[in-house]
Amino acid sequence: MGRSANDSGVAFDIDEETQLILRSLDEFVEQEVEPIAAELGETLTNPRLGHEPDGRLTDEVLGAIGRVRKRSAEAGYYAMNMPSDVGGEDVSAVTWYRANKRLATSAVPLSNEVLAGPAGPKPLLAAAEGDQIENYLEPAMRAEKTTAFAQTEPGVGSDSPNMDTNAEKDGDEWVLDGTKQWITNAPYADFVQVFARTTPQAEAGRHGGITCFIVEDDEFELGSLNNAVGSVGRQAEVRLDDVRVPADRVLGDVDAAFYDAMGFLGLGRLEIGAQAIGSAEWLLDRATEFATDREAFDRSIGDFQAISHKIARGRANVYAADAAGLRCAWTLDGGDPAIAESSILKWFATNTFWEVADDVVQVHGSSGLAEENPFMDRLHQARIFRVVEGTDEIQLNTIASQYGL
Ligand SMILES: Cc1cc2nc3c(=O)[nH]c(=O)nc-3n(C[C@H](O)[C@H](O)[C@H](O)COP(=O)(O)OP(=O)(O)OC[C@H]3O[C@@H](n4cnc5c(N)ncnc54)[C@H](O)[C@@H]3O)c2cc1C
């Protein structure tokens, strides 16, 4: 565990800077995101629209997403958690947590594009050096270029150090061979950060011997889309068949990428936790309104304990998850990788989101299932959250090992 509960610590009040950021994010969504989303209308909310027949997002949708990201970057929000020396605002993990959570409480389509997700700059990219800064990091910070993070393969997901993708040095070049799959933003990325084994496990150890390479979009072959229920057109295979990249495409140090990535696991889990909690809160607000208005057997359905307890249980879990989120963010701000805290948050918040989404669909009856309502979309998102960035089981393994098992 990181800083102990006995240290003076986690503050639940929102400091002035964060309050200002949250207020201006609300305004940004209203003034900048809403008009862009309104232009596309139902295209963004009906899952059957906005896609090519194979699932790929249409150019119209991609254009709208790109505009939101660029405006957010210009306004200083997009990658505000990145260090100021690379063009970020250096906001604390607590502020980043609150901002992610706040945007997840918005029903405006594309609000989830305001802060940099897997397509945007993450701390790993801050290791860029020399020409990499101008060619990849800076355009990613301005949202002029997008990226992807490629670790998962057909044969390995959770057990990613056992990856098959490898890279061999040949003069001034590296030759990459392998296939990645389920890579978010791969269909649209200008460059992908590809993880490959460069020294065998027998020599380098399980987590050593893995290097991250920057591979440009015209250097790899895009394979099939990996469409998930709830996330269509976003993920795809990245095929690397003897792809040659110059030596200066190594991001960070040779053989050290897995350690670098592990250092940032906590941040990814914090972001997903925040989004899960924000979404669950939004769903509970909708369920409360509906349970008050909807009548059955001559009374509001909220008068039935079977309904009110669903909402109450959700509120209690969200309350506890939010406290775990702040504790995790505060631990990260103290320079600790927050291994236990981020796994506890990720597991608890995403399971809470899943249970809340399921209950809120139930509270709404058949209108909960209706395609034009957003409840099933959020339920699908919750299900995805329990798999990505480390599955439920991997989080529980981490928690067990952090507590001595
Ligand atoms: C929408 C979406 C977006 C994604 N985006 C990306 C991305 O951008 N980049 C990327 O690299 N990957 C991405 N992924 C892949 C994702 O990270 C993996 O799917 C995830 O890590 C699980 O790997 P797997 O699917 O191979 O399952 P496996 O690792 O094969 O696991 C299968 C089952 O076995 C369980 N299991 C495995 N090992 C253990 C263990 N030690 N103890 C207990 N249970 C265990 C798992 O929890 C799971 O239930 C994405 C996936 C989805 C669905």
CATH 3.40.50 describes domain 16-141: no
388's CB contacts (< 8 A; 6+ apart) are 272
Any ligand 1 atom below 6 A from CB of 195: no
Which of 129, 138, 389, 393 is flagged as catalytic?
Answer: 389
Residue 276 to residues 104, 217, 306, Cα–Cα distance (Å): 8, 31, 24
Please give the DSSP secondary-structure letter assigned to residue 388.
T
Would you state the pLDDT for residue 1?
Answer: 52
Looking at residue 97, its pLDDT comes to 98
Tokens found for residue 296 = 């059955």
Q: What's the sign of the alpha-carbon dihedral 98, 390, 265, 68? A: negative
Q: What is the DSSP pairing of strand 173-184 with strand 147-150?
A: unpaired
DSSP 67-109: HHHHHHHHHT-TTTTS-GGGT-----HHHHHHHHHHHHT--ST
Q: What is the pLDDT, as a whole number, of residue 3?
A: 53
> Could you tell me the distance, in angstroms and rounded to a whole number, from the CA of residue 391 to the centre of ligand 1?
6
Closest CA to 275 of 361, 160, 389, 149: 389
Residue 232 CB less than 6 A away from ligand 1: no
Task: Give the pLDDT of residue 263.
Answer: 85
Residue among 57, 146, 158, 160 to mutate when testing ligand 1 (max atoms within 8 A of CB): 158
Atom of ligand 1 nearest to the CA of 389: 17
Cβ-contact 123, 82 below 8 angstroms: yes
- Catalytic-residue membership of 389: yes
> What's the CATH class of domain 261-402?
mainly alpha
- Residue 180, beta-bridge partner list: 238
Distance 389 CA to ligand 1 centre (A): 8
The CATH number of the structural domain formed by 147-255 is 2.40.110.10
> 149 in ligand 1 pocket by Cβ < 6 Å?
yes
Q: How far apart are CA 173 and CA 178, in angstroms?
A: 17
Backbone φ and ψ for 245, nearest 5 degrees, come out as: -125, 150
Q: Which atom of ligand 1 is nearest to the CA of 390?
A: 21
Pairing mode of beta strands 235-246, 299-300: unpaired
Token pair 């989404």: residue:
357
pLDDT of residue 233: 97
Separation of CA 210 and ligand 1 centre (Å): 19
158 lines ligand 1 (CB under 6 A): yes
SS3 string of 17-57? HHHHHHHHHHHHHHHHHHHHHHHHCHHHHCCCCCECCCCCE
Domain boundary assignment for the chain? 16-141, 147-255, 261-402
CA distance linking residue 135 with residue 397, whole number of Å: 39
User: Could you tell which of 388, 395, 401 is best to mutate to test the pocket of ligand 1, judged by most ligand atoms within 8 Å of the CB?
Assistant: 388
Mean pLDDT by 10 residues, the chain (405 residues): 60 94 98 97 90 96 98 98 96 98 97 98 96 98 98 97 98 98 98 98 96 98 97 97 98 96 93 98 98 98 98 98 97 96 98 98 98 95 98 98 97
